[in-house]
């Protein structure tokens, strides 16, 4: 196992190095830069201003030279300065990463718990009324665009009932725990509802498959309680496909949810990455995209290890 | 304990754990919904990337700094130049503006300004000429990344008389000599250390590293809290000696999505939506229909001039008759009436009717499809039974129209143009691109035939950068000019040069009139309309005066108060 993990870690490092080059190149190939955009909206900006600002921001140097300078500094631990947010890259990322982890983590966990509950219940009674209702809700959740769901939720709980704030992360001048939690309720609920549909479908399908296997019949014949049959004998093999889905979803924890963040004006990683790429903020875009890549690849590695624990027949080579 | 009772106990605890905190959260704070009128929450659609007044030009930053920093001079809501930080505007008549002969034979001017005696930074340190000299040093340094360096380049020297009085020597005598709007003071006592290495100034400025430091602000408010990407809170500046601001706290909340902005307004999370960075006009019109009784909705025509640039290098568009036919083929009154409820005035030229340079003595192109057809015939474009007109060689009269993809308002207008021009036999193909591609690549290299976008200017702004022949982008000027039509007219160049240096208002007005007449006759661009900004205000708020220019209404925030 140690050899397998070591090889995979080296692969991740090589992939990240290649990714950094590709991302830098792709951003560089996008036409226009922020100074060009500034000039188009400000008639007072002269040609001299444009040239001076491009030099000040280093945008007049060749792309390769800029990449090498960034790579050298990044290797030494300096991720540079975000031009768009006027602060060091790590300072720009840190609060938004915390916000995203809170939002995505809560949404992800709640969706997963509810999906397990609903998926198992539906799988145990296929084609029952409960199964049909769960299926209907799942398809509704999958089909509903997140921006529309967010708007509906805001209209109901903020505009009509006035129970919860419609946007932001805290009330100005407050920001205590209760206030922060209150601001989290609607975006978390939206994300939970968005993720609930697909997760429930996966759990239901995996459980349906597991509950028809021979060893389940054997367990029941041996007199095991229904709870033990479901939670111990069926759920364990059913978790393998779910682990894959969860591993792939881990990247979202740090890459955020652009639409939900935009609708709730929630400063998270999704909006940060979008702004960084659209604003040609190389340092910030690279750091955030590489972080998301690293987490996704790391989670996939963890999933491979988890398969081994969940199913003794799986071996790592 | 039985299994059932154990299970019910567990469920009981689970329910308590979930429900009780939820109830506490919901009930803990209803203060927000009934916020007293000594607090004001404003919604805008952008969050400022920096708060340094001289780095990066951004509307959201101007909006926030309007309440916290006093520029020396600005244009007010009547589009008149006024003093905010200075005692009076220097003038030649009063002797505090003195034309001088420069060593190179040109005319310059010495301007003497006096800082208001009561002006001080939020930490109690007076605003002095020390700050003036420091700001000038930062602005002049090419490494400091100051966004608009033109004014600093034009100021060749500063002479300090005392703590409050100084004289600027400006290398060009222009009619707007007293306007030093871009000269926004930096507090030398706080910012000097960040400027030790000029190239690092934009990274080290305290406006981004210590933005709640009261000493950075000299306006009626200071920034008291920043939640990055979410909101900025302002509290009254204790050192401010001017009219007392009414609100104990002003929160400026960034909500990028306009549907969410509307929901926040209706929910009471925000009290008002700023016109400078708020609803697009079509959204505001729809909002007004539904909620006109609950809010004051104020439309203010602005200096944002929407037009269609004609690339004069295109053989078809090089013919003035074709350009005139295009404008005559448009029913612009009906278009703004139908699409914008008549709230965006039709433009006859690049000068807004509210601008002092505006002239009525210029061609007005009313919708006249017959005359448009006649002009096209005269230009050699024959009508066919079906399809677009053709020339003698059988080439179809087909033009490509571009604008910014995703801008709903422009995309709607674009469809109207396409439909109206089809009626006079002009086929229009639409090709839209994202803003950064359109402005960063396509327009800059003049790879278009017709392009619809906006010019943003200031009152009495001489349109040198968009009409002078030296401003045509090309390899010679590193594609840096903004005369995208490629308009090359010696008379226009002469008028632009003369206009800038004409001090006599009457003669200047006649030059303005001549320039507008020439522009409206030659039609390097087809004027469409002036955009309006929309302010959605609570009924109880008074004193908000939209300016319609680039200087935000927050500069006069001390006039804002609840209606008695």
Mean pLDDT score, B271-299: 93
Question: What's the pLDDT score for residue A233?
Answer: 85
Of A43, A159, A163, nearest to B461 by CB-CB distance is: A43
For chain B, count helices (H), then strands (E). 17, 18
Residue B388 lies in a domain: yes
Question: Tokens for B68?
Answer: 């916290």
Q: Does B452 touch chain A (CB under 8 A)?
A: no
> Are B149 and A52 in contact (CB < 8 Å)?
yes
- The domain boundary, picked from A66, A89, A112, lies at A89
Mean pLDDT score, B255-280: 91
Q: Does B253 touch chain A (CB under 8 A)?
A: yes
Q: Judge whether residue B173 has pLDDT over 80.
A: yes
Same domain? A51 vs A163: no
Same domain? B183 vs B311: no
Same domain? A165 vs A284: yes
**Are the CB atoms for A12 and A291 separated by under 8 Å?**
no
Give the closest-approach CA distance of B203 to chain A in angstroms.
7
Mean pLDDT score, A120-147: 88
Closest CA to B535 of B284, B339, B289: B284
Question: What's the pLDDT score for residue B16?
Answer: 52
Of residues B381 and B199, the one with the higher pLDDT is B381
Residue A293 lies in a domain: yes
Residue A14 lies in a domain: yes
Give the closest-approach CA distance of A50 to chain B in angstroms.
8
Question: How many angstroms separate the CA atoms of B473 and B469, rounded?
Answer: 9
Lowest average pLDDT, out of A34-43, A285-294, B61-70, goes to: A34-43
Q: Does B123 touch chain A (CB under 8 A)?
A: no
Mean pLDDT score, B249-255: 94
Residues near A106 by beta carbon (within 8 Å), at least 6 away in sequence: A184, A188, A191, A192
Same domain? A128 vs A255: yes
Find the closest chain A residue to B435 by CA distance: A37
* Chain A environment of B445 (Cβ under 8 Å): none
B564 pLDDT band, cuts 50/70/90, is low
Residue B401 lies in a domain: yes
Same domain? B172 vs B307: no
Q: How far is CA B133 from the centre of its chain?
A: 28
Residue B445 lies in a domain: yes
Query: What is the four-CA torsion angle of B401, B351, B456, B464, rounded to 10 degrees?
Result: 90
Find the closest chain B residue to A264 by CA distance: B260
Query: Percentage of residues in chain A with pLDDT exceeding 90?
Result: 17
Same domain? B335 vs B187: no
Domain that holds residue A60: 2-89
> Are B57 and A36 in contact (CB < 8 Å)?
no
Q: What is the DSSP letter of A69?
A: H
Q: Judge whether residue A55 has pLDDT over 90.
A: no
Q: Does B426 touch chain A (CB under 8 A)?
A: no
Find the closest chain A residue to B50 by CA distance: A86
Q: Does A274 touch chain B (CB under 8 A)?
A: no
Q: Judge whether residue B39 has pLDDT over 70.
A: yes
**Are the CB atoms for B316 and B397 separated by under 8 Å?**
yes
Question: What's the pLDDT score for residue B532?
Answer: 93
Residue A315 lies in a domain: no
Find the closest chain B residue to A84 by CA distance: B49
Question: How many angstroms separate the CA atoms of B340 and B337, rounded?
Answer: 6
- The domain boundary, picked from A65, A89, A113, lies at A89
B5 pLDDT band, cuts 50/70/90, is very low
Find the closest chain B residue to A166 by CA distance: B264
Residue B206 lies in a domain: no
Q: Does B145 touch chain A (CB under 8 A)?
A: yes
Same domain? A69 vs A192: no
Question: What's the pLDDT score for residue B34?
Answer: 40
Instruction: Output the 3-class SS for B185-244.
Output: CCCHHHHHHHHCCHHHHHHHCHHHHCCCCHHHCCCCEEEEEEECCCEEEEEECCCCCCCC
Same domain? A189 vs A45: no
**Are the CB atoms for B310 and B450 separated by under 8 Å?**
yes
Give the closest-approach CA distance of B559 to chain A in angstroms.
23
Q: Judge whether residue B201 has pLDDT over 70.
A: yes
Residue B334 lies in a domain: yes
Cα→Cα distances B45→A83, A187, B258, B289, B305, Å: 20, 19, 7, 22, 21
Q: Which of B31, B229, B262 to mutate to test the interface with A (most CBs of A within 10 A)?
A: B229
Residue B166 lies in a domain: yes
Q: Judge whether residue B367 has pLDDT over 60.
A: yes
Of residues B143 and B219, the one with the higher pLDDT is B219
- The domain boundary, picked from B194, B228, B259, lies at B194
Give the closest-approach CA distance of B252 to chain A in angstroms.
9
Find the closest chain B residue to A95 by CA distance: B228
**pTM recorded for the entire structure:** 0.84
* Chain A environment of B456 (Cβ under 8 Å): 41-43
Question: What's the pLDDT score for residue A59?
Answer: 79
Which CATH number fits the domain that encloses residue B365? 3.10.105.10
Query: Percentage of residues in chain B with pLDDT exceeding 90?
Result: 75
Q: Does A215 touch chain B (CB under 8 A)?
A: no
Find the closest chain A residue to B52 by CA distance: A86
Same domain? A121 vs A190: yes
**Are the CB atoms for B389 and B329 separated by under 8 Å?**
no
Same domain? A74 vs A161: no
* Chain A environment of B257 (Cβ under 8 Å): 147, 262-263, 265
Residues near B43 by beta carbon (within 8 Å), at least 6 away in sequence: B253, B255, B261, B264, B265, B270, B272, B273, B274, B278
Mean pLDDT score, B532-538: 95
Q: Does A85 touch chain B (CB under 8 A)?
A: yes
* Chain B environment of A36 (Cβ under 8 Å): 436, 439-440, 444
> Are A86 and B477 in contact (CB < 8 Å)?
no
How many domains are contained in chain A? 2
Residue B134 lies in a domain: yes
* Chain B environment of A49 (Cβ under 8 Å): 147-150
Question: What's the pLDDT score for residue B249?
Answer: 95
Of A40, A178, A265, nearest to B24 by CB-CB distance is: A178
Same domain? A127 vs A244: yes
Same domain? A177 vs A81: no
* Chain B environment of A103 (Cβ under 8 Å): none
Residue A271 lies in a domain: yes
What number of other Cβ atoms are within 10 A of residue B484's Cβ? 26
Question: How many angstroms separate the CA atoms of B160 and B188, rounded?
Answer: 15
Q: Judge whether residue B267 has pLDDT over 60.
A: yes
- Per-chain mean pLDDT for chain B: 90
Same domain? B188 vs B307: no
What are the backbone angles phi and psi of residue B120, rounded to the nearest 5°? -150, 160
Query: What is the four-CA torsion angle of A209, A211, A214, A219, rounded to 10 degrees?
Result: 160
> Are A47 and B436 in contact (CB < 8 Å)?
no
Which CATH number fits the domain that encloses residue B187? 3.90.76.10
Same domain? A77 vs A222: no
CB contacts < 8 Å between A and B, how many? 205
Question: What's the pLDDT score for residue B486?
Answer: 95
Q: Which of A27, A33, A38, A40 to mutate to test the interface with B (most CBs of B within 10 A)?
A: A40
Closest CA to A108 of A249, A264, A292: A249
Mean pLDDT score, A303-309: 79
Domain that holds residue B110: 70-194
SS3 state at B248: coil
> Are A169 and B461 in contact (CB < 8 Å)?
no
B35 pLDDT band, cuts 50/70/90, is very low
Question: What's the pLDDT score for residue B13?
Answer: 55
Q: Which of A42, A81, A159, A168 to mutate to test the interface with B (most CBs of B within 10 A)?
A: A168
Q: What is the DSSP letter of B442?
A: I
**Are the CB atoms for B432 and B404 separated by under 8 Å?**
yes
Mean pLDDT score, A8-35: 85
Give residue-wise pLDDT tens across range B495-527. 999 999 999 999 999 999 999 999 999 999 999
- The domain boundary, picked from B173, B194, B215, lies at B194
Question: How many angstroms separate the CA atoms of A291 and A250, rounded?
Answer: 11
Mean pLDDT score, B32-38: 57
- The domain boundary, picked from B194, B211, B233, lies at B194
Residue A232 lies in a domain: yes
Q: Does B227 touch chain A (CB under 8 A)?
A: yes
Identity of the highest mean pLDDT range in A34-43, A249-258, A290-299, A306-315? A290-299
Residue A58 lies in a domain: yes
Question: What's the pLDDT score for residue A230?
Answer: 84
Residue A317 lies in a domain: no
Q: Does B233 touch chain A (CB under 8 A)?
A: yes
Of B21, B49, B55, nearest to A84 by CB-CB distance is: B49
Residue B249 lies in a domain: no
How many domains are contained in chain B? 2
Question: What's the pLDDT score for residue A44?
Answer: 64
B307 pLDDT band, cuts 50/70/90, is very high
> Are B230 and A267 in contact (CB < 8 Å)?
yes
Mean pLDDT score, B444-472: 91
Q: Judge whether residue B3 has pLDDT over 70.
A: no
Mean pLDDT score, A27-36: 76
Question: What's the pLDDT score for residue B395?
Answer: 94
- The domain boundary, picked from A89, A104, A138, lies at A89
Which CATH number fits the domain that encloses residue A180? 1.10.3720.10
Query: Percentage of residues in chain B with pLDDT exceeding 70?
Result: 93
Residue for token digits 């803990």? B28
Tell me, what's the ipTM?
Answer: 0.77
Closest CA to A169 of B485, B238, B318, B229: B229
Question: What's the pLDDT score for residue A262?
Answer: 87
Question: What's the pLDDT score for residue B31?
Answer: 42
Q: Does B254 touch chain A (CB under 8 A)?
A: yes
Of B22, B260, B440, nearest to A33 by CB-CB distance is: B440
User: B272-273 and B249-254: which strand pairing?
Assistant: unpaired
- Per-chain mean pLDDT for chain A: 85
Give residue-wise pLDDT tens across range A267-292. 999 889 988 888 778 889 889 999 98
Same domain? A226 vs A101: yes
Give the closest-approach CA distance of A247 to chain B in angstroms.
28
**Are the CB atoms for A251 and A292 separated by under 8 Å?**
yes
B33 pLDDT band, cuts 50/70/90, is very low
> Are B480 and A43 in contact (CB < 8 Å)?
no
Of residues B17 and B40, the one with the higher pLDDT is B40
* Chain B environment of A37 (Cβ under 8 Å): 435-436, 439-440
> Are A182 and B463 in contact (CB < 8 Å)?
no
Find the closest chain A residue to B479 by CA distance: A47
Residues 42-81 of A with CB under 8 A from B: 42-53, 55-57, 81
What are the backbone angles phi and psi of residue B350, rounded to the nearest 5°? -80, -5
Mean pLDDT score, B425-454: 91
Of residues B192 and B387, the one with the higher pLDDT is B192
Same domain? A77 vs A195: no
Of residues A311 and B511, the one with the higher pLDDT is B511
Q: Judge whether residue A316 has pLDDT over 70.
A: no
Give residue-wise pLDDT tens across range A66-92. 889 888 888 888 888 888 888 899 999
Mean pLDDT score, B12-35: 47
């Amino acid at each position: 196992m140690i050899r397998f993990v070591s090889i995979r870690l080296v692969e991740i490092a090589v992939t990240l190095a290649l990714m950094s080059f590709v991302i830098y190149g792709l951003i560089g190939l996008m036409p226009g830069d922020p100074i060009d955009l500034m000039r188009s909206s400000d008639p007072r900006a002269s040609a001299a201003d444009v040239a001076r600002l491009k030099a000040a921001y280093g945008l007049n140097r060749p792309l390769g030279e800029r990449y090498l300078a960034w790579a050298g500094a990044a290797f030494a631990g300096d991720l540079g300065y975000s031009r768009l947010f006027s602060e060091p890259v790590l300072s720009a990322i840190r609060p938004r990463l915390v916000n995203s982890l809170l939002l995505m983590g809560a949404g992800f966990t709640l969706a997963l718990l509810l999906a397990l509950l609903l998926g198992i219940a539906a799988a145990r009674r296929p084609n029952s009324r409960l199964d049909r209702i769960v299926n209907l809700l799942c398809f509704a959740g999958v089909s509903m665009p997140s921006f529309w769901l967010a708007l509906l939720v805001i209209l109901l709980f903020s505009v009509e009932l006035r129970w919860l704030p419609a946007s932001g992360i805290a009330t100005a001048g407050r920001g205590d725990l209760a206030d922060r939690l209150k601001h989290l309720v609607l975006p978390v609920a939206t994300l939970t509802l968005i993720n609930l549909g697909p997760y429930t479908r996966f759990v239901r399908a995996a459980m349906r498959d597991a509950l028809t296997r021979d060893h389940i019949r054997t367990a029941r014949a041996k007199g095991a309680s229904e709870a033990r049959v479901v939670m111990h004998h069926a759920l364990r093999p059913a978790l393998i496909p779910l682990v894959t889905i969860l591993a792939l979803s881990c990247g979202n924890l740090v890459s955020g949810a652009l639409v939900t963040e935009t609708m709730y004006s929630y400063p998270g990683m999704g909006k940060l990455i979008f702004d960084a790429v659209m604003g040609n903020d190389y340092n910030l875009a690279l750091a955030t995209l590489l972080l998301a890549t690293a987490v996704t690849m790391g989670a996939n590695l963890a999933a491979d290890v988890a398969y081994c624990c969940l199913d003794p027949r799986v071996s790592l080579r | 304990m039985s299994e059932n009772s154990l299970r019910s106990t567990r469920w009981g605890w689970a329910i308590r754990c979930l429900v009780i905190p939820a109830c506490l959260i919901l009930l803990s704070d209803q203060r927000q919904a009934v916020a007293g009128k000594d607090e004001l929450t404003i919604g805008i659609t952008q969050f400022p990337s920096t708060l340094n007044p001289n780095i990066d030009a951004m509307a959201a930053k101007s909006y926030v700094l309007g309440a916290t920093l006093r520029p020396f001079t600005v244009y007010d809501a009547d589009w008149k130049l006024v003093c905010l930080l200075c005692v009076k505007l220097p003038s030649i008549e009063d002797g505090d503006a003195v034309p001088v002969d420069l060593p190179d034979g040109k005319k310059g001017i010495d301007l003497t300004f006096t800082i208001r005696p009561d002006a001080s930074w939020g930490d109690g340190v007076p605003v002095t000429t020390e700050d003036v000299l420091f700001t000038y040093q930062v602005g002049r340094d090419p490494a400091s990344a100051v966004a608009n360096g033109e004014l600093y380049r034009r100021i060749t020297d500063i002479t300090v008389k005392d703590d409050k009085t100084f004289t600027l020597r400006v290398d060009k005598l222009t009619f707007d000599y007293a306007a030093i709007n871009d000269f926004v003071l930096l507090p030398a006592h706080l910012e000097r250390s960040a400027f030790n290495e000029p190239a690092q100034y934009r990274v080290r400025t305290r406006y981004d590293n210590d933005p709640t430091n009261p000493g950075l602000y000299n306006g009626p408010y200071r920034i008291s809290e920043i939640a990055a990407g979410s909101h900025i809170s302002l509290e009254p500046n204790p050192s401010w000696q001017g009219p007392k601001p009414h609100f104990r706290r002003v929160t400026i909340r960034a909500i990028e999505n306009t549907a969410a902005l509307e929901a926040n307004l209706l929910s009471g999370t925000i009290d008002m939506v700023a016109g400078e960075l708020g609803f697009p006009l079509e959204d505001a019109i729809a909002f007004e229909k539904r909620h006109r009784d609950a809010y004051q909705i104020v439309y203010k025509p602005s200096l944002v001039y929407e037009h269609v640039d004609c690339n004069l290098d295109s053989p078809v568009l090089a013919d003035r008759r074709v350009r005139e036919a295009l404008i005559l083929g448009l029913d612009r009154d009906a278009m703004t009436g139908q699409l914008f409820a008549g709230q965006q005035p039709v433009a006859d030229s690049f000068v807004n009717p509210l601008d002092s340079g505006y002239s009525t003595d210029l061609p007005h192109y009313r919708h006249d499809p017959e005359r448009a057809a006649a002009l096209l015939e005269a230009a050699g474009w024959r009508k066919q039974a079906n399809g677009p007109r053709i020339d003698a060689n059988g080439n179809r009269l087909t033009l490509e129209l571009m604008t910014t993809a995703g801008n709903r308002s422009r995309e709607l207008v674009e469809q109207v143009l396409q439909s109206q021009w089809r009626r006079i036999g002009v086929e229009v193909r639409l090709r839209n691109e994202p803003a950064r591609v359109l402005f960063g690549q396509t327009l800059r290299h003049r790879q278009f035939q017709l392009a619809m976008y906006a010019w943003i200017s200031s009152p009495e702004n001489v349109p040198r950068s968009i009409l002078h022949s030296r401003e045509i982008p090309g390899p010679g000027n590193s594609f840096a000019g903004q005369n995208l039509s490629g308009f090359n007219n010696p008379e226009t160049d002469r008028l632009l040069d003369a206009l800038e240096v004409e001090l006599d208002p009457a003669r200047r007005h006649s030059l303005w009139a001549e320039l507008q007449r020439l522009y409206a006759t030659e039609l390097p661009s087809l004027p469409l309309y002036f955009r309006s900004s929309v302010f959605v205000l609570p009924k109880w708020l008074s004193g908000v005066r939209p300016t319609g220019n680039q200087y935000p209404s927050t500069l006069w925030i001390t006039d804002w108060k609840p209606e008695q």
